[in-house]
Amino acid sequence: MVNKNILLCVSGGIAVYKAVALTSKLSQAGFNVKVIMTESAMEFVTPLTFQAMSRNDVYTDTFDEKDSSKIAHIDLADWADLVLIAPATANVLGKLANGIADDMITTTLLATTAPVWAAPAMNVHMYSHPAVLKNIDVLHERGVQFVEPSEGFLACGYVGKGRLEEPEKITQIITEYFSKRKERLLEGKKVLITAGPTREKIDPVRFFTNHSSGKMGYAIAKKAAEAGAEVTLISGPVSLSSTPGVTTIKTETAEEMYQAVMKYFHDSDVVIKSAAVADYRPVQTNEQKMKKKDGSLILEFERTTDILKTLGEQKKHQILIGFAAETEQLETYALNKLKSKNADLIVGNNIMTEGAGFGTETNAVTFFRKDGTAAELPLQTKDQVAEALISEVHHLLQERLT
């Protein structure tokens, strides 16, 4: 971890004493640590304590320029390899979520392009307040990664979730993060990924959809971000949390997903279409709930836009990857899709295989390539499948250079 720079933003709460220990643990692990403190944080611990632990100046005032040749908050924002807010109070999370910059910490947070992590610490009821939860969701969607608080006895006397995670655990998580970033196969590449199902409305209470959970697409987005890519994830309606470091755009219908994909497609280097998009939608939707009647019900459907085919027709420099979830004749259908959609790779899986269907934690897939070769992967976790796919994408990009 030598030469990795951690900017520790300490906001005001009783957990500030743990931030002192965290500074010590990070320094012992080999990180360069610089600390910014809020006025409230200084009510609990003096800046001198953090200076002694980090062996660096401590910053507390936006207008206190320690080096006249530099603007302090910009210099710190550029210096950091990772920015960690610990403890992250409800106040600082609210400010960051709403773009407020009224002190040294919030000004620096808006100026940095480094990954931002937050380790919340507050009263259990504050942590579960709708406003706080909304701010956390907003920050999640913007790529902020959260180190979840642990449960236990709180300074206020309550027992529950809200304790700042232990310094040893936070140090371990950060160390593992930088270890994984060593092999940055997609550094500098823009990757566009779709995930999950779509919903096609019939009336205010009914819609057509499928069993896709989005787990495979979200796993791919996570691994692509870890590989150094700038990742945009176009997601259908799923119950999954946004992926840290990934820009997530929520959609519902096939048309909404198509419009979102086309907005980002031309600037992308790699497009991975793992979403299960509806092929048809009702011709007519009802604004009021449909009432049951005697006899059968007939609904007329029309085709939705074939997103993968459209991308195949318009692609120029992009690597285009599609998915084929089949119940029979996997190779036949996958190879046909590879050709008809002008894709560079089709990831095929038979959803009838045990452990490889929608909603599972595992998958068994085959990579069908344009050169006629195929690579069959055994049943494994979706994270492992995603890692294998990222490696395959890397090879495809390298082939373009030769």
- For residue range 223-248, list pLDDT tens digits in order: 999 898 999 999 999 999 888 789 99
Binding residues for CTP: 279, 289, 323, 337, 341
Tell me if domain 5-180 and domain 190-401 are identical in fold. yes
Query: So what's the architecture of 190-401 in CATH?
Result: 3-Layer(aba) Sandwich (3.40)
Contacts 24+ apart (CB under 8 A), 347-352: 347/274, 347/321, 347/322, 347/323, 347/389, 348/323, 348/324, 349/323, 349/324, 349/325, 350/326, 351/325, 351/326, 351/327, 352/327, 352/328
Let me know if domain 5-180 sits in CATH 3.30.1330.20.
no
Residue tagged active-site, from 74, 133, 156, 205: 156
pLDDT over threshold 80, residue 7: yes
- pLDDT tens, 14-53? 899 999 999 999 999 889 999 999 999 999 999 999 999 9
**SS3 at position 189:** coil
Q: Domain spans of the chain? A: 5-180, 190-401
Confirm whether 9 is a catalytic residue.
no
Instruction: Read off the pLDDT of residues 188-220 as tens digits, 9 standing for 90 and up.
Output: 899 999 999 999 999 999 999 999 999 999 999
- Return the minimum-mean-pLDDT range out of 91-95, 202-206, 377-381: 377-381
Q: Find the largest Cα–Cα distance for the chain.
A: 82
Please report, in range form, the residues annotated as the binding site.
279, 289, 323, 337, 341
Task: Output the CA–CA distances (angstroms, integers) from residue 380 to 195, 321, 356, in the order listed.
Answer: 19, 20, 9
The whole-angstrom separation of Cα 95 and Cα 287 is 39
